[in-house]
């Protein structure tokens, strides 16, 4: 428990008057008055740079209703919010003076951490979505933060103390004893501040408590943890309220705090950069949020299957794959092979920190391919249920079918994904080159396909999509405008319990194709170009292959093309992939299905399942509804804007 000072004694005798005062608003902690600055011109520095709010933009940070942003903007508070948001830029330019924006973004980025405790503009709001941790500070009366024992992991020796995000080292301001120095400011007033300076009004000190918050602050393309000490009025809640608990409650609304995470790092992932990306971009955010983390490195191909098969599920609530999409695929399959698999899927949320070359899971679930933003999303996300797909082929189904969370493909895309691995050094370009090469050749991949439809036509599909999406949105936003009810809805989703029955296949491979499945017209399947099924909207950072995919609508999205389609038509279709509008084109078949079987009729080719090579054998797949828990930012996939297409 994070207890306030045990006596209502005031801070009025504290000589130091340099802390900013703040209050809690619906959106975040708002600075209400400035402590006077004695830091040798920080204020000057701020005003000097007043005009330059230089935000960078990344296509996956566009989050109109993001929990990371504030909604009521008194100042340009989003400069402490999502600086990569297109929405943010628009609002900034329409609603606010760039002056204020420039101050917060530019200057705080250039100056050391301690300066965050200097003058912050009045009305600046630090959104709850950015607050990682709050605690009462030790004060001159000897009250100590009773909650600051953190969650250091004894086995790994990982300390929850903040580290330099760039190096992973403790910050220079940490004392040898391990006590945190609050920036350059201490309550005993030995920082040469002039307590009689203007702005040091003392009359209402009774109503303030000294609280340190740690928040995720934009720095260049990333977010990094920063500390800030504030005098926070408890009249912003009620005098009896524990302000720190109130801040933590609002900052982790619908999210689980203090996660216990097993991080699996593929050291070869992301062309060998995965470990460094995790250590420098993700770990500081997780530790600042008081998550406990243990790290396991994959030592050989498919090692993550063994790790997940053997992991002690009582120790963790989350497995975070600091990798590409290959490791989550292996983790899901390792869990599936356990005798206690239902318990494993009920206990653990499987998530990705995008440190690989293919990061579709993070783009879809955390709405970003940036590792630090994904770490922030991880700690703030809602535990949500997603459907998986169960794949059976003759060579392995009797031992264990394979679970797929992302996609299966055959034809042009499969060959471009897998058969271009020898030019891996080209990065994502290799895939695009492969597709272009195969499409120009108009290469055909004959096969037979049977499907069990969930929504057959494009009109049916739109209805299905809108019904499921609106149902969820209605639950979250309209019907449940009261917070307690909203929490009820969200917990209803995460409380869904997987049982062993949920793993039983409705359509076992050896039972043959059921009579109510439809065989697709052979004039199409004998000339197939692309066969692609998916459960997440993005297959890569700029490939919105399945704009109608939903986390748990109980259906798989299928798209197909005919290899005879003229190149002049197929080229614009492929070029529309970043917008997702390719599925609207008449040449593209787009449908929702519950299950399918595909029997290839070529001598040499392959299947790609979640980016892994699978044998050229008949493949039968069915959806397993809501079987897996993951972390979704705001409880949904990234918005694809499919309804407005």
Ligand X SMILES: Nc1ncnc2c1ncn2[C@@H]1O[C@H](COP(=O)(O)OP(=O)(O)OP(=O)(O)O)[C@@H](O)[C@H]1O
Site for ligand X, rule CB under 6 A = 266, 268-270, 298-303, 323-327, 330, 356-358, 611
Helix (H) or strand (E) holding 181: none
Give the Cα separation of 379 and 359 in Å (integer): 18
Give the Cα separation of 165 and 55 in Å (integer): 20
Least separation in angstroms between residue 238's CB and ligand X is: 49
Residue 168 corresponds to which tokens in the numbers above? Answer: 């992973």
Least separation in angstroms between residue 289's CB and ligand X is: 24
Considering the complex, state which of residue 430 and residue 468 has its C-beta at the smaller distance from ligand X. Answer: 430
Give burial (CB, 10 Å; 0-12/13-18/19+) of 637. Answer: buried
Least separation in angstroms between residue 413's CB and ligand X is: 14
Strands (E), 35-81: none
State the catalytic residue, choosing from 82, 107, 180, 325: 325
Considering the complex, state which of residue 83 and residue 323 has its C-beta at the smaller distance from ligand X. Answer: 323
Distances (CA, A) of 494 to 65, 314, 346, 596: 21, 18, 9, 28
Considering the complex, state which of residue 327 and residue 388 has its C-beta at the smaller distance from ligand X. Answer: 327
Contact 587, 556 (CB under 8 A): no
Least separation in angstroms between residue 271's CB and ligand X is: 7
Give the Cα separation of 485 and 569 in Å (integer): 49
Considering the complex, state which of residue 221 and residue 613 has its C-beta at the smaller distance from ligand X. Answer: 613
User: At what angle are helices 567-575 and 429-440 packed, to 10 degrees?
Assistant: 160
Least separation in angstroms between residue 321's CB and ligand X is: 7
Distances (CA, A) of 93 to 74, 87, 99, 254: 14, 10, 11, 31
Considering the complex, state which of residue 14 and residue 305 has its C-beta at the smaller distance from ligand X. Answer: 305
Least separation in angstroms between residue 267's CB and ligand X is: 6
Considering the complex, state which of residue 211 and residue 295 has its C-beta at the smaller distance from ligand X. Answer: 295
Minimal CB distance to ligand X: which residue? 324
Instruction: Write out 307-349 in H/E/C secondary structure.
Output: HHHHCCCCCCCEEEEEECCHHHHHHHHHHHCCCCHHHHHHHCE
Least separation in angstroms between residue 375's CB and ligand X is: 17
- What per-residue string of b and e applies to 227-254 under the rule 16 or more CB within 10 Å gives b? bbbbbbbbebbeeeebbbbbbbebbbbb
SS3 80: helix
Q: 561 pairs with which residues across the strands?
A: 530
Least separation in angstroms between residue 532's CB and ligand X is: 17
Least separation in angstroms between residue 611's CB and ligand X is: 5
Contact 365, 632 (CB under 8 A): yes
Give the Cα separation of 200 and 280 in Å (integer): 39
Considering the complex, state which of residue 82 and residue 330 has its C-beta at the smaller distance from ligand X. Answer: 330
Residue 43 corresponds to which tokens in the numbers above? Answer: 């204020």
Residue 204 corresponds to which tokens in the numbers above? Answer: 């209402």
Q: Is 493 tagged catalytic?
A: no
Give the pairing of strands 619-632 and 589-600.
antiparallel
Considering the complex, state which of residue 361 and residue 451 has its C-beta at the smaller distance from ligand X. Answer: 361
Considering the complex, state which of residue 45 and residue 304 has its C-beta at the smaller distance from ligand X. Answer: 304
Angle among Cα 553, 468, 533 to the nearest 5 degrees reads 40
Write the CB contacts of 165 (distance below 8 Å, at least 6 apart in sequence). 222, 224, 225, 280, 281, 284, 372
Catalytic positions are 325
């Amino acid at each position: 428990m994070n207890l306030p000072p045990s006596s209502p004694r005031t801070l009025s005798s504290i000589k130091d008057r340099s802390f900013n005062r703040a209050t809690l608003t619906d959106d975040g902690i708002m600075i209400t008055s400035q402590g006077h600055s004695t830091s040798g011109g920080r204020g000057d520095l701020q005003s000097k740079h007043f005009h330059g709010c230089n935000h960078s933009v990344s296509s996956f940070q566009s989050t109109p209703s993001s929990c990371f942003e504030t909604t009521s903007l008194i100042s340009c508070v989003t400069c402490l919010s999502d600086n990569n948001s297109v929405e943010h830029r628009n609002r900034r330019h329409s609603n606010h003076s760039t002056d204020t924006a420039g101050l917060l973004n530019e200057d705080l980025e250039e100056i050391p951490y301690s300066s965050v405790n200097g003058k912050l503009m009045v009305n600046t709001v630090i959104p709850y979505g950015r607050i990682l941790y709050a605690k009462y500070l030790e004060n001159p009366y000897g009250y100590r933060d009773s909650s600051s024992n953190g969650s250091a992991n004894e086995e790994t020796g990982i300390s929850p103390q903040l580290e330099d995000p760039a190096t992973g080292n403790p910050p220079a301001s940490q004392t040898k004893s391990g006590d945190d120095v609050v920036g350059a400011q201490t309550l005993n007033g030995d920082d040469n501040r002039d307590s009689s300076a203007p702005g040091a009004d003392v009359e209402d000190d009774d109503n303030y408590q000294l609280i340190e918050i740690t928040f995720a602050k934009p720095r260049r393309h990333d977010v990094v943890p920063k500390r800030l000490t504030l005098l926070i009025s408890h009249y912003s809640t009620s005098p009896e309220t524990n302000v720190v608990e109130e801040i933590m409650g609002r900052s982790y609304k619908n999210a689980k705090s203090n996660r216990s995470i097993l991080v699996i790092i593929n050291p070869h992932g992301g062309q060998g950069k995965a470990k460094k990306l995790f250590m420098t971009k993700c770990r500081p955010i997780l530790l600042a949020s008081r998550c406990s983390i243990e790290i396991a490195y994959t030592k050989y191909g498919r090692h993550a299957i063994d790790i997940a098969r053997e992991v002690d599920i009582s120790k963790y609530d989350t497995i975070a794959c600091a990798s590409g999409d290959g490791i989550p695929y292996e983790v899901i399959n390792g869990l599936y092979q356990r005798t206690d698999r239902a318990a494993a899927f009920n206990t653990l949320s499987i998530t990705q920190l995008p440190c690989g070359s293919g990061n579709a899971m993070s783009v879809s679930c955390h709405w970003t391919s940036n590792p630090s933003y994904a770490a922030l999303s991880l700690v703030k996300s809602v535990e949500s249920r997603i459907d998986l797909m169960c794949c059976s082929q003759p060579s392995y189904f009797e031992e264990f079918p394979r679970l797929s969370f992302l996609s299966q493909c055959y034809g042009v895309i499969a060959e471009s994904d897998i058969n271009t691995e020898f030019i891996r050094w080209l990065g994502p370009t290799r895939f695009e080159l492969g597709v272009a090469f195969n499409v120009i050749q108009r290469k055909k991949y004959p096969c037979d396909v049977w499907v069990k439809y969930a929504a057959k036509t494009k009109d049916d599909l739109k209805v299905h999509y809108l019904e499921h999406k609106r149902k969820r949105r209605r639950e979250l936003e309209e019907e449940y405008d009261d917070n307690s009810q909203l929490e009820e809805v969200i917990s209803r989703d995460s409380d869904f319990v997987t049982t062993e029955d949920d793993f039983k296949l409705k359509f076992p491979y050896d039972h043959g194709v059921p009579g109510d499945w439809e065989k697709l017209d052979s004039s199409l399947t004998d000339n197939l170009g692309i066969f692609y099924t998916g459960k997440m909207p993005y297959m890569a950072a700029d490939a919105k292959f399945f704009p109608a995919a939903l986390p748990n609508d109980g259906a798989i999205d299928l798209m197909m093309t005919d290899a005879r389609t003229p190149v002049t038509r197929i080229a614009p279709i492929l070029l529309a992939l970043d917008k997702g509008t390719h599925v609207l084109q008449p040449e593209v078949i787009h449908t929702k299905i519950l299950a399918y079987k595909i029997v290839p009729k070529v001598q040499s080719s392959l299947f790609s399942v979640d980016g892994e090579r699978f044998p050229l054998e008949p493949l039968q797949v069915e959806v397993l509804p809501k079987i897996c828990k993951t972390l979704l930012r705001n409880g949904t996939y990234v918005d694809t804007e499919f309804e407005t297409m």
